[in-house]
Amino acid sequence: MSPQPDFVQILTWNVSPESHYIGSIWANQNNNTKQLKYATSTRAPHADIQPLLSIFIAGYATETAI
């Protein structure tokens, strides 16, 4: 890619504030502890997209077609 930017931003969308779909939940991200009752990394892991993203990141970093 030319010109090559300094960084790439991955955008996600979630209606609730409990987590995102790229990584695990941070318990200290908000003060609503009721959210943690339902949105747990154990019950619903949020890391499933990471292997897919790593393919695109590697392709971008090496400037190869995917």
Q: What is the mean pLDDT of the segment spanning 41-61?
A: 79
Residue 13 lies in a domain: yes
The CA–CA distances, whole Å, from 4 to 21, 57, 64 equal 26, 13, 13
| Residue 30 structural domain | 9-65
The CA–CA distances, whole Å, from 11 to 1, 6, 48 equal 20, 16, 16
pTM: 0.45
Residue 55 has pLDDT above 80, yes or no: yes
Residue 3 lies in a domain: no
- The domain tally of the chain equals 1
